[in-house]
Amino acid sequence: MAIEELPTDVSPNHHPPHSTLDSSSQPKKQKSLKKLKKSKKLFDGSTERFPAKLPKGVYETELALLQTELVKMQYWIKHVGYRVVVIFEGRDAAGKGGVIKCIAEPMNPRGCRVVALGTPSDREKTQWYFQRYVEHLPAAGEIVLFDRSWYNRAGVERVMGFCTEEQYQEFMQSCPEFERMLVRSGIVLIKYWFSVSDEEQERRFHDRIHDPAKRWKLSPMDLESRNRWVEYSKAKDAMFVHTNIPEAPWFTIEADEKRRSRLNCIHHLLSKVPYEDMTPPPVELPPRPPADHYVRAPRNEQFFVPQVY
């Protein structure tokens, strides 16, 4: 059955009334999150009402508060054995990597992993399409952040002709079934689409070109995708229609302003996990035992890094 025959009565930001992410602790949770906000407009998400860049001081203050909550969330996830998968999709230079860095930075890397797979190998191309992603799914108490995901088939592979029409059709039908299976198995699946305008993408491309430290971010594939804006838009629209399911809806992040988009995304992610504060109490360090029976060996300069700074 071709994907055009599939139902189309689903909007990208549909919120199911009885999602698997709902919890009786959510009202208490929402109240806790509201305390983080200095002003409601920080999380309004309206680029029309708030087009200006968020002041750096405000951004850093809010980010620090949200990152503290992320640590609390991770403690809870480990304690109860939750398995969380967060997918980040969007156009090139939409800001996916930046928000992933902000999320992963404060957390224990033993329980939070970032997965950014490259081009599939010849062997992987012969596997079941989802197979190379399955091996990265979380165990109990883990969070996995996918910097792009199995949705490559609905986006870049579709637009660039890296998959056949039959493979594309099969993906669009199989993907909802695959994700329902993940959710039924107990995985919490959260999917974000970072929406950036063509003007802002163009500005970020120029920024990467003129900054040697960022130039690696701009690949020939990025430049080719720039020429296929409309094709990517159509592919994204089809992806939303056929893969936005009640068990794993899409959430769109307005990403033209990086600071706001990062805060909005992290705040929303926290609201989707019904965590409680399980931070252990501070540890009292006992007096350090004396080192009376140790004499340091003579200093050998060749074993030390030079003091350049």
Q: Please check the confidence at residue 35 and state whether its pLDDT lies above 90.
A: no
Burial classification of residue 91, based on how many CB atoms lie within 10 Å of its CB (0-12 exposed, 13-18 middle, 19 or more buried):
buried
Q: What is the pLDDT of residue 8?
A: 36
Pick from 203, 154, 229, 189: which is nearest to 53 by CA?
203
Q: What is the pLDDT of residues 243-294, one digit of tens each?
A: 999 999 999 999 999 999 999 999 999 999 999 999 999 999 999 999 888 8
Q: Stretch 186-191: mean pLDDT, rounded?
A: 99
Which residues, at least 6 apart from 73, have a Cβ–Cβ distance to it below 8 Å?
A: 270, 273, 275
Taking the model in full, what pTM does it have? Answer: 0.84
Contact by Cβ (8 Å): 12, 250? yes
Note the pLDDT of residue 34. Answer: 63
pLDDT for position 4: 42
77 and 270 in contact (C-beta within 8 Å)? no
Lowest mean per-residue pLDDT among 126-140, 165-179, 182-196, 216-230? 216-230
- What does the DSSP 8-state code read for residue 276? -
Task: Say how far apart CA 62 and CA 52 lie, in whole Å.
Answer: 17
Q: Which residue has the higher pLDDT, 162 or 10?
A: 162
Six token digits for residue 246 = 């009640």
- The alpha helices in 149-283, defined as continuous H runs, are 156-160, 165-184, 198-210, 220-226, 229-243, 258-271
What is the distance between the alpha carbons of residues 242 and 154, in angstroms, rounded to a whole number?
10
pLDDT band of residue 157 (cuts 50, 70, 90) is: very high
Which pLDDT does position 51 carry in this prediction?
A: 54
DSSP label at residue 176: H
Domains delineated in the chain: 24-194+229-276 (3.40.50.300)
Q: How far apart are CA 169 and CA 154, in angstroms?
A: 9
Segment 39-53 mean pLDDT: 52
Tokens of 254: 């307005």
Show the tokens assigned to 268.
């929303």
Question: What is the residue whose two structure tokens read 């989802």?
Answer: 130
pLDDT of residue 143: 99
Torsion angle of the four alpha carbons 129, 135, 139, 143, in this order, in degrees rounded to the nearest 10 = -70
Range 209-216 average pLDDT: 92
Structure tokens at 89: 């999709």
Share of the chain above pLDDT 70, in %: 83
pLDDT score for 29:
59
